[in-house]
C-alpha cells in the first residue's frame, strides 16, 4: 500500500505517523496491526483520533525467551522482507536518498506481483 524509508535515529511511532498520513483509502480499513516498536500510548491515541480504527500491537509471549515461536500475523511481514532481500539493490543500503530506496521497494513489489499474475497465464 505504502512504503516509507526514514532515518534509523527516528522512532517507529514517529515514522508511523508520516506513513499513515500518506495511506490511500484509509476509510476502508478497520484495524491496524503493529509490532512492539509502535506500542506508544500517544501514537495509539493519535491513531484512534485521526483514523477511528482499532489498533492491535503484537506482544511477545513469555515462552519466546527460550526459543523461536511464530507470532500470528508477524510472519507476513518477515516473509515480505525476505522477498525484498532477494533483490540485489535492496540487500544493502546503497542509496543516497530515501526516495530512491522507496522507489526500488515499489519496483521490487511490482516485479513480484507481475510474476505471480503471469505465472498461470
Question: What is the domain partition of the chain in residue ranges?
Answer: 7-59, 61-121
CA–CA separation, 36 vs 83, rounded Å? 23
Q: Band of the pLDDT at 4, cuts 50, 70, 90?
A: confident
Whether the pLDDT of residue 69 is over 80: the answer is no
Owner of C-alpha cell 506481483: 113
Q: What are residue 33's DSSP bridge partners?
A: 56
User: Span 99-116, mean pLDDT?
Assistant: 90
pLDDT of the residue at 26: 64
Give 28 or 19, the one with higher predicted confidence.
19
pTM over 0.75: no
pLDDT of the residue at 114: 93
Q: Calculate the dihedral angle through the C-alpha atoms of 77, 81, 84, 90, rounding to the nearest 10 degrees.
A: 140
Q: Which of 82, 19, 11, 20 is nearest to 49 (CA)?
A: 20
Q: Band of the pLDDT at 37, cuts 50, 70, 90?
A: confident
pLDDT of the residue at 63: 61
User: Span 40-66, mean pLDDT?
Assistant: 80
CA–CA separation, 36 vs 57, rounded Å? 6
CA–CA separation, 91 vs 82, rounded Å? 10
Amino acid at each position: 500500500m505504502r512504503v516509507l524509508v526514514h532515518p534509523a535515529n527516528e522512532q517507529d511511532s514517529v515514522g508511523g505517523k508520516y506513513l499513515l498520513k500518506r495511506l490511500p483509502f484509509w476509510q476502508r480499513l478497520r484495524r491496524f496491526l503493529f509490532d512492539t516498536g509502535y506500542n506508544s500510548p500517544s501514537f495509539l491515541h493519535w491513531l484512534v483520533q485521526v483514523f477511528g480504527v482499532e489498533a492491535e500491537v503484537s506482544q511477545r509471549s513469555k515462552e519466546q525467551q527460550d526459543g523461536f515461536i511464530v507470532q500470528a500475523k508477524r510472519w507476513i511481514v518477515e516473509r515480505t522482507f525476505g522477498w525484498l532481500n532477494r533483490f540485489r539493490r535492496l540487500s544493502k543500503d546503497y542509496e543516497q536518498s530515501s526516495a530512491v530506496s522507496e522507489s526500488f521497494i515499489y519496483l521490487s513489489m511490482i516485479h513480484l506481483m507481475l510474476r505471480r499474475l503471469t505465472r498461470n497465464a
